[in-house]
Amino acid sequence: MEDVEKLIYKYALLNAVKHKGSAQSGAVVGVIMGSHPDLREEGKRIVKLSSEIVDEVNSLGLQKQKEELQKLGVQEKAPKKQEKTGLSDLPNVGDQVVLRFAPNPSGPLHIGHARAAILNQEYVKRYDGKLILRVEDTDPRRVDPDAYQMIPEDLKWLGVEWQEEYIQSDRMEIYHKYARELIELGKAYMCTCPGDEFKKLKDHSKSCPCRDMALKDNLGLWNRMPDMDEGEAVLRVKTDLNHKNPAIRDWVAMRIVNAEHPRIGGKFRVYPMMNFAVAVDDHLLGITHVLRGKDHLANSEKQKYLYQHFGWTVPEFIHYGRLKMEDIALSTSKARKGIDEGEYAGWDDPRLGTIRAIARRGIMSEAIKNLMLEIGVKIADSTVSWKKIYGLNRKLLEEVANRYFAVLNPQEVVIEGLPEPLKGTVKRLKHPDFPDRGYRELPFDGTVYLDEKDIKDNQNKVLRLMDAINIYLGEEVTYHSSSLEEARKEKARIVHWVPASSNSSVELVMPDATRKNGFIELAANELKVDDLVQLERVGFARLDSYEYGKLTFYYAHK
């Protein structure tokens, strides 16, 4: 047996033992091509040999296969250990875990939201719990009507599933009912002090005159609140005026807003503040664990007073560190401004850190999920960068993406002196590790498009056109030789190419929104929108649109 055959024999045995005695030729070829890139040029022969050897191995039966492996001194691989994630267990888990993801509808989700969504989802899976999607839209001025649709779309792309859905603007009567109840309990009061005067008192741990108003007067003011002007009065929750954090002292529960709500119009003028609506909902919806960033520590503290006043059980609050996004996410308000001013094409502009922009560029949701699980819920701050995301995505794309030749900045080259017999068809595996996926065929007649840069960088040198021939770039471009060995001897750079006579136009939208144009091999016409590919020597990309003879891709990364 020659070395290659021995190699195939070994991998065929391993594959057979792994699959109850029955090896798959495609899988064997895949492993060999992956671990021995030097054999890729012999793809055809390897495929043929593997098929023969796999038949032979499969005829041995499992017991004999194991003996053969032992003879070769090969150890079966132990099953992979489950990957460790940064996700520690939840504290105090009872009968059912109920979690919620609660975004503001101020725009679509961005990568920062993905963390909360994915972590909640993972815990729901771990504890067979329930996930609630709650859209928190009680600030009429910060509502983007499109967000009600974009948020569920983004979550679906992330693979997050929820069992119940609530929109807070549907629940206004509930907040009003509990606000009134809180007044009746003597735990909240209407405050008509100008904001700066209240602040002065509060900062000195002093109560304002409203705090000790009779219940009757308090309720009277509360009833009149919808007819008052914005800022004329607020409803305050009694906390501790000596609390070390002044922000927590008698915080505002309800306020007047003079603005139409994009969803419920002018039906209400008295709106709950975030902390009030959140605590009421978390209680009523039976939320057992609240995952939130540590920038919400003071909010958790505020909310605990409500639980105390109403006699409710406090859910477990779990705070995690900040996610610093180097070079990634622009704030939603800055992105919106850029869109309004025409600087960005929309929420999926490749320069933005929104989920839809990331998706459009060919980042897989699984890469985002892996990133968030890796970061987990630790209290220390974490940093993410594009580089980090690209690394995780590349791991996934390397398997998924089939390969094609596309030449951006193309320059036509006519090869002089090409021997007639070398004209014909070049066959190349769509993916060297997965021969089952088949071949692409590129007609080769001596006239090709090469990348301008490849030509410029290799003047007076030999250049190898992948899987075809070697050329010399002199004053004119001439045929040099055909074998890979020859190319190696000349230390020739190996470059991709596109037949000049047979191709489609290609446009590549870069992460900075600039566009590159060129030609792509004809086999790419079989692609469908959303397919992820590797443009050889260019990088990974996602097919964004397709019209006859023209393909537009969004570039992901190298």
Q: What are the residues binding Zn ion (CB under 5 A)?
A: 191, 193, 208, 210
Least CB distance to Zn ion at residue 212 (A): 10
Q: Are 557 and 392 in contact (CB under 8 A)?
A: no
Residue with tokens 């009757």: 216
Q: How many other C-beta atoms lie within 10 A of the C-beta of residue 333?
A: 11
Least CB distance to Zn ion at residue 242 (A): 18
Q: Which is nearer to Zn ion, 51 or 192 (CB)?
A: 192
Q: Which is nearer to Zn ion, 193 or 279 (CB)?
A: 193
Q: Which whole-number Å values give the CA distances from 278 to 98, 102, 168, 439, 518, in the listed order? A: 15, 9, 9, 56, 53
Q: Which is nearer to Zn ion, 142 or 199 (CB)?
A: 199
Q: Are 116 and 124 in contact (CB under 8 A)?
A: no
Least CB distance to Zn ion at residue 218 (A): 11
Least CB distance to Zn ion at residue 356 (A): 45
What are the φ and ψ backbone dihedral angles of 361, each rounded to 5 degrees? -85, 0
Q: Which whole-number Å values give the CA distances from 199 to 196, 211, 246, in the listed order? A: 5, 14, 9
Least CB distance to Zn ion at residue 213 (A): 9
Residues contacting 453, CB < 8 A, separation 6+: 409
Q: Which is nearer to Zn ion, 193 or 277 (CB)?
A: 193
Q: Which is nearer to Zn ion, 183 or 208 (CB)?
A: 208
Least CB distance to Zn ion at residue 250 (A): 9
Q: Which whole-number Å values give the CA distances from 40 to 120, 135, 403, 435, 467, in the listed order? A: 44, 53, 14, 10, 10
State the Cα–Cα distance between residues 206 and 198, nearest whole angstrom.
9
Least CB distance to Zn ion at residue 224 (A): 15
State the Cα–Cα distance between residues 315 and 132, nearest whole angstrom.
15
Least CB distance to Zn ion at residue 183 (A): 14
Which residue type does 85 have?
T
What does the block give as tokens for 501?
Answer: 């006579």
Least CB distance to Zn ion at residue 236 (A): 7
Tell me the residue ranges of DSSP E strands in 329-386.
382-384
Least CB distance to Zn ion at residue 215 (A): 16
What does the block give as tokens for 430?
Answer: 């769509």
Please give the helix or strand (H or E) that residue 47 lies within, else none.
helix 43-58
Which residue type does 551 have?
L
Q: Which is nearer to Zn ion, 210 or 364 (CB)?
A: 210
State the Cα–Cα distance between residues 333 and 524, nearest whole angstrom.
39
Q: Which is nearer to Zn ion, 208 or 524 (CB)?
A: 208
Please give the helix or strand (H or E) that residue 283 lies within, else none.
helix 274-284
Per DSSP, the three-state class of 418 is coil
Least CB distance to Zn ion at residue 364 (A): 54
Q: Which is nearer to Zn ion, 200 or 515 (CB)?
A: 200
Least CB distance to Zn ion at residue 197 (A): 8
Q: Which is nearer to Zn ion, 51 or 207 (CB)?
A: 207
Side-chain half-sphere CA neighbours of 20 within 13 A: 0
Q: Using the CB atoms, write b or e for 31-52: b if 16+ within 10 Å.
A: bbbeeeeebbeebeebbebbee
Q: Which is nearer to Zn ion, 23 or 191 (CB)?
A: 191
Q: Are 529 and 553 in contact (CB under 8 A)?
A: no
Q: Which is nearer to Zn ion, 208 or 225 (CB)?
A: 208
Taking the CA atoms of the chain, what radius of gyration do you get in angstroms?
32
Residue with tokens 């622009």: 330
